[in-house]
Amino acid sequence: MGKKRIRFMCTAFRDGFQSVYGARVRTRDFLPAVRAAAEAGIDWFEAGGGARFQALYFYCNEDAFAMMDAFREAAGPDADLQTLARGVNVVGLESQSSDVIDLHAKLFARHGITSIRNFDALNDVHNLDYSGRCIHNHGLRHQICVSMMELPPGSRGAHDPDFYEMVLRRILDADIPFDSVCFKDASGTSTPAKVHETIKRARAMLPSETSLHFHTHETAGISIACYLAAIEAGADSVDLSLAPVSGGTCQPDVATLWHALRGMPYDLGVDIDKILKAEEVFRDCMSAYFLPPEATSVEPTLPFSPMPGGALTANTQMLRDNGIMHKYPEIIAAMGEVVRLGGFGTSVTPVSQFYFQQAFNNVMFGPWARMADGYGKMVLGYFGRTPVKPDPEVVRLAASQLNLEPTDKTPRELNDADPSKGLEAARRRLQAAHIAETEENLFISATCKEKGIAFLSGRAKLGIRWKKDIQPSAPPEPKTFGRYNVRVNGRAHEVTLQKGRLVMDGVEYDVSVAEGPLRAADAAERSGSRPGLDAPGSAGRAVTAPMPGSVVRVDAKVGDSVDKDQTLLVLEAMKMEVEVQSPMAGRLASLAVDLGGQVAEGDELARVEPQS
């Protein structure tokens, strides 16, 4: 009896790039590797979408549609080129209106794509329905997804075989047209036993001619065990990558699964020597790019705070960019609670980013003191229905901090009624910037907004991390400031101390801290002395950066009259925009930053003084 052929999609040039380089790779640098992989016999490639759409405009100063055209030319006319879509979010972190969702499928078909993998991080089938029909209607093969992960230990309520069977049943009952089904575990945390049982049930539910696919990452160290479990349960195909973007945070290497299947009744149907030669070409292509050490590692604690490979390195790189990589262990440790209280959405983009952003805020500003916009909107229902109800107190905090009420409407209903979304809003942005209107430009404007306009206007900047530019990480300098959450008689106060200035609940005081007389008991416990903090003279009240980041918007100019809590400028970090507001009514006396400038946590950004 012959061996069963297991097909695979090569994810190196999409998921591999996202999982290692934060999707920041120039097209001309990797095309020789695409040609080498095609010559080695690979005929199914992940060629774009997901983070590789926005990243080209945000960081590479390139057009994603031109990249798809070049990919098609390099891979050949017969290759199956597949992209990744996030349901109603298509290729962004925010959800879109119906006209943008339809234009996504139309344009990707125009630019050489033949298949689209379509998933929803909440497993809300409403988010897969219209998007899937658009993919089908534009002549593309539709691979519909059920999103998987393992819950943090001790958590229950979703993400077991019963839950995944229920999601697949809802897909079938909705009569969404599809060509194949993918079970997608972006965090790589699902156990082999759960994978086997889930795939076995799906195989029994689907017609024998329907292709069944499984996707995972090596981040938790169990990808090959999960692939073998899926294959033995009836999976027809899997995702594999090529070195140097294989293993670690990526999919396992083609050669690794080829080796694991030796002696089994399955075969990948490849010439392994040709695959290894293609990997030599690929390594040479990527030799100038910085390879983060965590991208090549297995993270054994990942099941406690599920973070997909595609988000892990993107976030660690952004932490490096902002000089706060030392905060990473705290942020990952905080993710477990964020997942448990947020309704168990699958840790895959955009929800994985929502989890990380909220964990980041909980570490930087204090637990639940600042609700991340995406996380808050998710628990309030603005991205669809979470697998289980979020924690009521978190929902209350989100509603209060974001000034939004919970909703039962679908994201598409909300977006179709929102005048700031859709192709008409995108058209207005193009017109305001005097940019020609094409369908491609409309889509770029709709999904990338101001950064898309910057690219189309010739103002985009290159943000690629080259090996030569990355210096070894040094221990962080001792802080010249401190931020504290102080509770007095049951009342919480936010206190910042920096260079002789103390800010409590937004009110600034000049302070001086010096050593006092030591008691004998103190002297026994302490050696040496701490330097005092001398209070410099200052006019008005300082406005300081609540977090490191870059200045993406300045809303006031020196001399302007400002109200208390009026937004002065906006910082961006970790894919979040944070409004920096005036602590008092008065006059903007000084502005210490420019648009595009980089600031550190605690830096003085502006100063507001009373009106004379």
Return the pLDDT at 184: 98
Return the pLDDT at 521: 40
- Give percent above pLDDT 90 in the chain: 68
Return the pLDDT at 525: 39
Return the pLDDT at 257: 98
Instruction: Report the pLDDT averaged over residues 240-264.
Output: 97
At residue 125, φ and ψ (nearest 5 deg) are: -65, -25
CATH node for 10-402 = 3.20.20.70
Whether pLDDT at 531 is above 70? no
First-to-last C-alpha distance (Å) of the chain: 92
Q: In what order do the strands lie in the sheet with 586-591?
A: 541-544, 604-609, 586-591, 561-562
Q: Model pTM?
A: 0.81
HSE (side-chain half, CA atoms, 13 Å) at 379: 28
Return the pLDDT at 150: 93
The answer to whether the 10-402 and 539-612 domains have the same CATH topology is no
Fold of domain 539-612: OB fold (Dihydrolipoamide Acetyltransferase, E2P) (2.40.50)
Per DSSP, helices labelled H in 111-213 are 126-137, 161-173, 192-205
Sign, CA torsion 227/229/232/237: negative
Return the pLDDT at 93: 84
At residue 9, φ and ψ (nearest 5 deg) are: -100, 135
**524 token code pair:** 């026994």
**Residue boundaries of the structural domains of the chain:** 10-402, 477-538, 539-612
At residue 498, φ and ψ (nearest 5 deg) are: -155, 120
Return the pLDDT at 218: 96
Instruction: Report the pLDDT averaged over residues 76-84.
Output: 98
Return the pLDDT at 478: 45
Return the pLDDT at 449: 95
Instruction: Report the pLDDT averaged over residues 222-246.
Output: 98
Return the pLDDT at 512: 61
**573 token code pair:** 């970090």
Sign, CA torsion 341/344/346/351: negative
Whether pLDDT at 398 is above 80? yes
Whether pLDDT at 599 is above 70? yes
The per-residue pLDDT for range 22-47, each reduced to its tens digit, is 999 999 999 999 999 999 999 999 99
Return the pLDDT at 456: 98
